[in-house]
Every structure is written in C-alpha cells, then in structure tokens.
Chain A
Amino acid sequence: MKVFILGGATTKFGELWNLSPRDLVKEAVSEALSDAGLTVKDIGAIFVGNMLSSSLGGQDHLGAFFAEELGTNAAAVKIEGACASGGLAVHHGILAVLSGIYENVLVVGVEKMTDHKPEEVAKMLMGAGSDPERESGATFPGLYALIARAHMKRYGTTEEQMAYVAVKNHFHASLNSHAQFVSPINLEKVMKSPVVATPLKLLDCSPITDGAAALIISNKRPKSGKKGKKHTQVSIVASAVATDTLGLAERSDLTTLSSAVAAAKKAYDMAKVKPSDIDVAEVHDCFTIAEIIAMEDLGFFPRGSAAKAIWEGKTRFGSGRPVVNTSGGLKASGHPVGATGVKQVVEIYQQLKGVAGKKQVAGAKIGLTHNIGGSGATAVIHILKSFK
C-alpha cells in the first residue's frame, strides 16, 4: 500500500461554545494544509467523518456544506459509522487515492455535541445501537457496563483496575495542550465519581466533546527536505474494517469485540507486522473497560491479563511499550465522535514524525489506531510507519 500522510492537525477539544462546526473544520483544515504545504486547490476530494449532524444539528448534505466553507468545488461526501465515522472516513480517503482518480484528498472529522442537553445527546448516540437496546432505555455507558460486568465475571477484572485506565489517560492528557481535560486525577477521584451505569462511574466514561481533526493523504511520495536533507515522513501501511451485530444481544461473547479482532488481523497481515512491533497506539477507550478489551483484542496482552498489565504501567508514557493513548484517548482528550477516528491517526502521525511535543514517545517508528463504532458493530484499524 503506497499512501502517504502530507499533513495533519486537530483543534483544541472541549466545550467550545463560541465555535461552530464550520469554524472547527476551517481551523483544523487550515492547519493541516499548512503542515502539508498545500492549498485547498490541491485537494481532489473531501471525506467528512461525522455521526450526529443530522440528528443533533439538523444538517444533512455535509460534504457540500464544508466544501462551501473551504471555498472549493471538489468532490465531498459524509462518511457515517457511529463513533467509527472518522476511521471510516480515513479508510475511504485511502481507497480514493489508491484508485488513482485523486492524488491528494482531505479527510476531516468533526462533531458538535455540547450545544445540546445531555439526555438528548445520550438518546441520539443510541442511534448507534439496535432497536431493542433503544426500547430498553439503555445508554452507551449502559451497554459498556454490560460488557464490563461480563469481563469482571470471567476474568476477575476489578473496578479499581478499570479506574486506573482513566488515571493513566488523564496523565497523558495533562501532556497534551489540545486535550479536553488537562489535569491529572487519582484513583480515589475516579472511584468516588457519581455512578452513571453500574459498575461504570462518571470518570470511567469519555466526555461529550466538540472538536475537529484533519488529515491530508496522498498517493504521491512527499518531497524531501531542502538541500537534499531527508525529513522523517509517515505512510499508512494498513487500513482494515470489519463489522459485527449492531446489538449486544446477538453476540456469543461479551468480553471481546470480534470486529476488532477481525480488523486487527487483516491490518497486521496487510502491514506485515506483529502486535509486538507496535511502539505507540491510539485505541478507542470510550469507557475504561473498552481500553482493557482493546489491549486483548489487538494481541498486546493475553486474554484476561490486560487490566493487570495496564495497572503495572506497561502501556504508560515513560514506562511502557506500546504506549497507549498518548493523546489522553477518548477518555481524557475528549470524544467528538466523528472526529475521533481522524484524531487518532493525526496523533500517531505526529508521534512517528517526532513532533508530538511533551508526550513524544522516543524512537516511535510503528503505530496503530483502533476506532470502534457502537458497542463494536464497526471496527477500523490503521497501521502507520515512519520512513526517510
């Protein structure tokens, strides 16, 4: 696969009441274009990752909406797959440049969530679930709570171990100036936070977030630095998608996401790498239990042992490898759902390029992103490599 990342950027994530979706996209895209040394005229097609513009914002026709804002008449389309919308948009951007029809494409993920009441957002997010799940009054924290209790029962995973995932990711976010939450938290604070859906507490859950992330990808190798000096560049060496049943009730095992296992296998095969080759990973920790399961689904740790490994700091910045969720993850960097899958790729791109700032993992050469839609109905895995 010959796909190159020319530029990437994200906005600050958070409660951005003074910014509209247009503002967010314009900011992320301007920065990504400037990083790539391109202008919007160089972009052949735009892939927008977004979930809720229709239900929360009342805005369909999102491709043309943002093309207008960016001042181009390029091809533009919205890609939707719940919280995996961003990852799917990256996947489709890759297909577009691999087709040869487009040389450079823009992938932009965006979500505007904090304009609306929490119960409305919770209801609209359940659009990612099944009809019976909606009829039961389940929420996304509720669905992941069902998964968590099954994992606790089978493997003895504890609430403290789950809480530690939040502690680790808030620590990482404290090193990320673009994160929603920039203050570290301790275990006691997570354990004493209000219950959302037993056994998950408020600080086990990713927040409601506004934000955008943009990526410029190309089938043309980026130019080397001036005067023959070679800069570190980043290519995407695998992009894989798999699906599973929409609802949890139809699954035979709640302690794994079979879509993630299937997509990861395809991606490792495509990239010809093993889980042990990964230096840095951004995974879909929409809830703390989700990161524990992701570690097992991706083959980083054997089944039932990831919670303990995370607790021991084996994925923490400064002590572990692979370092997981250097951005702070969805948990602490924030989860603007359509932007998340794009942001993950931007974070890994910056890590491999060596421009990740205070959270830079020394010598990172191979990175992975794991983006999940719904309670595992869609999984998107990307693997990135640096080269000179």
Chain B
Amino acid sequence: MLSPVKIWRNQKKVRALLGIEGKVISFTKIHVPPAGFIDQAPYVVALVKLKNGKGVVAQLVDYEDKHLNIGQKVKTVLRRTRDAGEEGVIPYGIKFKPVS
C-alpha cells in the first residue's frame, strides 16, 4: 500500500500547502483509529478552509482543549503522517497547528 514512488510523487504537492493559515470548519477526535495510526490515537482530525480558498482534511497537532472550536485559526505544518510500514519510507504530509 505504501509505495515509495507514490510518496515521492505526492510530496511535491505537499510543499505548495505549507505555512498557510486557515479556519477550522469542523473537527473530530478519533478514538478508534485505522491500521497505520494505532500508536497516535486519540488524535484530532479537522476540516480547514485555507486562506487560498482550498479545503483540507488533516490532523490538528500541538493543541490544547481550548483550541477545539469551529472557527479556530490554524496554520499548515509538515509532520510525519502514518507508520512507515514494511517499506520503511517515512511518509510526511500536512497537519495543522493552532495560531495564537
């Protein structure tokens, strides 16, 4: 499933999404994770509308409970996403961090 070629191809898209601010449209705290995310649970997944108009679904990290609100300002950062799996290539992608 985790093809190194696919990771390499998709990471070109990730760069264009870094360091952009946006607002939380909706969020959920996942308590029952899928395979590949077991070690991270519970974690927050948010749907964010970025300032450039693009909608993005990704995890919210470095947050406190007071940040869990619709309308919360966030910024995109680069983080490791899921377990590397047998191929051992660490997948990186977009996550959100609260602003202020």
Binding site for B on A (CB under 8 A): 117-120, 122-123, 126, 130-133, 135-139, 141-142, 145-147, 149-150, 153, 194-200, 247-251, 254
Contact = CB atoms under 8 A, between A and B. Distances in A.
Contacts of A142: 28, 30, 45
Contacts of A149: 26-28, 70
Nearest to A141: B32
Contacts of A119: 33-35, 38
A198 B70 CA distance: 14
Given A136-B57, A137-B40, A137-B43, A254 B26 contact: yes
15 contacts: A132-B58, A132-B94, A133-B57, A136-B59, A137-B82, A138-B30, A139-B34, A146-B27, A196-B30, A197-B28, A197-B31, A197-B32, A197-B45, A249-B54, A250-B55
Q: Which 8 A-B pairs have the closest CB atoms?
A: A145-B28, A249-B55, A137-B37, A122-B34, A123-B34, A123-B35, A146-B26, A119-B35
B3 interface: no
Contact of B33 (A139, A194, A247): A139
Nearest to A199: B28
B57 A132 contact: yes
B18 interface: no
B31 A196 contact: yes
Given A136-B45, A142-B45, A126 B31 contact: no
A198 to B, nearest CB: 5
Nearest to B14: A135
Contacts of A195: 29, 31
Contacts of A141: 30, 32
Contacts of B91: 135
B93 A137 contact: no
A118 B45 CA distance: 20
B47 interface: yes
B58 A136 contact: yes
Contacts of A153: 26, 70
A88 B25 CA distance: 32
B57 A137 contact: no
B56 interface: yes
Given A137-B40, A196-B32, A198-B28, 18 more contacts: A119-B34, A123-B35, A126-B34, A130-B57, A135-B91, A137-B34, A137-B43, A137-B45, A137-B82, A146-B26, A146-B57, A149-B28, A150-B25, A194-B31, A195-B31, A197-B28, A248-B47, A248-B55
